[in-house]
Every structure is written in C-alpha cells, then in structure tokens.
C-alpha cells in the first residue's frame, strides 16, 4: 500500500513511523528543519512502547505525490481545508483520505473540497509531540486509531485498511459509528482544553476546585446538547465517562490546545469551543459557557495568528 502522511508531528510522525517500520511504502510531507532532519537522519520515534528509527521518503511538495492509496492527515484541524485543496489534484478515485485531528468536523471539512468516495472519518488517541527536528516523543497512553467509512459501511477497502493497521502493530478499531466515537473523544478534549487555557491550571487543580468543576460539567453539557441537535446520540453516561477520565488522569496533565495557548501559539480554539458556539447558533442551542470561554480566549488566539 502506497501511504502518504501529511504532517509528521506528534500524531503523523508516530503512526506514519509505525507503518514505515512495518515495511509499508510511506512518504511523509514535512517542512523546514523537521524535513531536513528526517531527510538526513531518518525519523526517530522515542516511545514508551519501544524506540525506533525509520528512513521513509520525505518531501515538502504535496503536489509531487503519485497515486496514493492512503493519505493520513496529521496536520492541525485548522490546516485540513488548505491541505485538501492541494491534495485534490493528486488523489485518484481509489485514494482513501483519513483525518486524525481532534474536533468534530474534520471529515466534513474534507468533504467541502474532495469527492465523497475519498473521505474516511477517524480519530486517534495518543500523547506525543515533536521533541526536536526529526524526533517524535510518544510519552504516555497506548496509541490507537479509531476509523471508518464516513457512512459507517464495512467496505472491502476499510477492512483492508484494518489489516494494514494490524500489521503496523498499533491498537486500532474499525468503528460501528465513527461519528459517535469522534464526538465522544471531542467531548473530552473540547471540554477540558479551553477551560485549561483560561485557568492555566493542570487537570488536578481544575477538578478539585468546585467552581471549575461546575464549569467543566456545564461546558460538556452544552456539547452534548449540540451533538444531539446534530443527530449524534451522546448521552449523560458519555458525559459521566469523560468526567471520570478527567478525574483519573495524572494530576499534572494539561491539554495540547491549553499548552499552545499558554505558549502564545496558534491553537485549535476555533475548532473546539468556537465550533460548539457556531453550531449552537445554527441549531438554536444555547452555549453560554462555551461562548464565554471562546470569547475570553479569542484575543490571545488572534494575537498568536497575527
Ligand atoms: N499529539 C497528540 O498527543 C495528539 C493526540 C490526539 C489527537 N491529536 C490531534 O492531532 C492533530 C495533530 O496534532 P499534533 O500534536 O500531531 O500536531 P503537531 O505536532 O503540531 O504536528 C502537525 C505537523 O503538521 C505539519 N504541517 C502542517 N501543515 C503542513 C504542510 N502544509 N506541509 C507540511 N507539514 C505541515 C506541522 O509543521 P509545522 O510545525 O512546520 O507547522 C507539524 O509538524 C491535532 O488535531 C491534535 O489535536 C494530537
């Protein structure tokens, strides 16, 4: 299988690295010092499950890709549409494009640009980052990809993709309802990230402070209401489950969007709380807590992007 990974960061670098290690023909799209380091020394993955180095093809030119069978998108969610516009000219009618971003609408963004037969839906679970140019560090959590056809059908190609991921040796799940699974992950990350960015506090402090705990629940409750208005069946049990996850995670955990905002970098704010606010408006669902978080963080987000 001819695989292209666009964005060789924490996510793309780890999962693409595992596919390359398993012997698949993998081409990474990277840029800057990261591109040069991978070209010169290979992609080094430091992982709690075992370190390895691979020497894949690497380029910065998406337009040079030839007949990809699978394209994995490892860029941030705000980069999905711009990448898809370039990708459109190089995919064939058989290419599968798999978005792994956090957020609820990444496959929908692809569908605004690409033919529907090319678009899969997915998410990933991992905690990893680019440590240095050419070096990915996976430092906690067992990595997993959850994926499916956009319409949840169990096509031959999606079953074949499962066997590819099995061969690469990472946990993977062919979902029965990929949109529900995406929203369950989004319910967790979309709830805690913005509040973390606003409070600048670690998970342990947030969950132990009664006023912040209430804000966490209110934020999640609004997300459940928006999901249900969209026909995605999130339940009160799902909400209880993400509170349980927040309670169990290491005391000093922070979310990546929180860290991006705290470090003055562009973040996925628009795709998280911003998305809930705009969808709430469209669907007639009140989202006052998400709106408060979003608008309070927006000035810093705009500054980071200026
Ligand atoms: N890392 C995690 O632990 C984790 C876990 C679950 C989900 N996620 C989600 O997965 C997505 C990716 O996160 P991440 O942590 O992997 O981000 P990341 O480490 O910042 O990686 C994104 C990579 O994409 C590159 N990129 C963007 N546009 C490009 C282009 N046009 N050409 C070449 N390279 C390009 C970036 O390069 P530059 O640095 O040059 O911009 C960067 O190396 C996000 O939606 C995130 O929320 C992350």
Closest CA to 202 of 212, 214, 187: 212
Using the mean position of ligand 1's atoms as its centre, give its distance from the Cα of residue 254 in Å.
Answer: 17
pLDDT at 236: 97
Residues 231 and 113 in one domain: no
Residues 48 and 170 in one domain: yes
Q: Are strands 2-6 and 43-47 parallel, antiparallel or unpaired?
A: unpaired
Q: Residue 213, Cβ neighbours under 10 Å: how many?
A: 16
CATH number assigned to the domain comprising residue 241: 1.10.1040.10
Q: Residue 85, Cβ neighbours under 10 Å: how many?
A: 13
pLDDT at 112: 98
Closest CA to 183 of 259, 103, 299, 296: 103
Handedness of CA 53, 59, 60, 66 (dihedral sign): negative
Boundary residue ending a domain (158, 176, 194): 176
Using the mean position of ligand 1's atoms as its centre, give its distance from the Cα of residue 76 in Å.
Answer: 5
∠ CA(145), CA(150), CA(152), 5° rounding? 85
Residues 161 and 106 in one domain: yes
For the stretch 136-192, pLDDT in tens is 999 989 999 999 999 999 999 999 999 999 999 999 999 999 999 999 999 999 999
**Spatial separation of the C-alpha atoms in residues 80 and 84, rounded to whole Å:** 6
User: Which residues in the chain come in under a pLDDT of 70?
Assistant: none
Whole-structure pTM over 0.75, yes or no? yes
Residues 172 and 256 in one domain: no
Contact 174, 148 (CB under 8 A): yes
For the stretch 278-291, pLDDT in tens is 999 999 999 999 99
Q: Whose CA is nearest to atom 11 of ligand 1?
A: 101
pLDDT at 185: 98
pLDDT at 253: 94
Residues 170 and 295 in one domain: no
Which residues neighbour 187 within 8 Å (Cβ) at sequence distance 6 or greater?
Answer: 220, 223, 224, 227, 234, 238, 239, 242
Query: Structurally, how many domains does the chain consist of?
Result: 2
∠ CA(238), CA(218), CA(194), 5° rounding? 90
Burial (0-12, 13-18, 19+ Cβ within 10 Å), 51: exposed
Using the mean position of ligand 1's atoms as its centre, give its distance from the Cα of residue 96 in Å.
Answer: 19
pLDDT at 223: 98
Contact 68, 4 (CB under 8 A): yes
∠ CA(234), CA(142), CA(177), 5° rounding? 30
For the stretch 64-73, pLDDT in tens is 999 999 999 9
Structural domain for 198, as ranges: 180-305
Q: Which helix (H) or strand (E) holds 136?
A: strand 135-149
Residues 36 and 127 in one domain: yes
Atom of ligand 1 nearest to the CA of 127: 3
CATH number assigned to the domain comprising residue 48: 3.40.50.720
Boundary residue ending a domain (145, 176, 207): 176
Ligand 1 near 122 CB (within 6 A): no
pLDDT at 149: 98
Ligand 1 near 32 CB (within 6 A): yes
pLDDT at 251: 96
Using the mean position of ligand 1's atoms as its centre, give its distance from the Cα of residue 129 in Å.
Answer: 9
Residues 119 and 201 in one domain: no
Using the mean position of ligand 1's atoms as its centre, give its distance from the Cα of residue 244 in Å.
Answer: 27
Residues 257 and 119 in one domain: no
């Amino acid at each position: 299988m001819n695989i292209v990974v666009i964005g060789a960061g924490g996510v793309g670098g780890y999962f693409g690295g595992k596919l390359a290690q398993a012997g698949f023909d993998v081409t990474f799209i990277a840029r800057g010092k990261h591109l040069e380091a991978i070209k010169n020394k290979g992609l080094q993955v430091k992982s709690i499950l075992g370190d390895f180095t691979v020497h894949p093809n690497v380029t910065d030119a998406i337009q040079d890709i030839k007949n990809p069978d699978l394209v994995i998108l490892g860029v941030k969610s705000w980069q999905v549409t711009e990448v898809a516009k370039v990708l459109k000219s190089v995919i064939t009618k058989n290419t599968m494009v798999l978005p792994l971003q956090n957020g609820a609408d990444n496959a929908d963004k692809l569908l605004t640009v690409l033919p529907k037969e090319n678009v899969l839906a997915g998410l990933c679970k991992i905690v990893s980052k680019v440590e240095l140019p050419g070096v990915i560090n996976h430092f906690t959590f067992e990595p997993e990809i959850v994926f499916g056809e956009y319409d949840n059908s169990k096509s031959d190609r999606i079953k074949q993709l499962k066997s590819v991921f099995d061969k690469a040796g990472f946990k993977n799940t062919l979902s029965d309802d990929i949109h529900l699974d995406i929203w369950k992950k989004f319910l967790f990350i979309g709830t805690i990230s913005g509040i973390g960015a606003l409070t600048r506090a670690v998970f342990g402090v947030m969950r132990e402070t009664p006023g912040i705990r209430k804000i966490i629940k209110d934020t999640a409750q609004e997300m459940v209401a928006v999901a249900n208005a969209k026909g995605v069946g999130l339940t009160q049990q799902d909400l209880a489950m993400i509170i349980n996850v927040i309670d169990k995670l290491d005391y000093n955990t922070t979310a990546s969007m929180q860290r991006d905002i705290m470090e003055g970098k562009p973040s996925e704010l628009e795709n998280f709380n911003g998305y809930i606010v705009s969808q709430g408006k469209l669907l007639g669902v009140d989202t006052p807590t998400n709106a408060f978080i979003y608008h309070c963080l927006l000035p810093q987000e705009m500054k980071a992007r200026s």
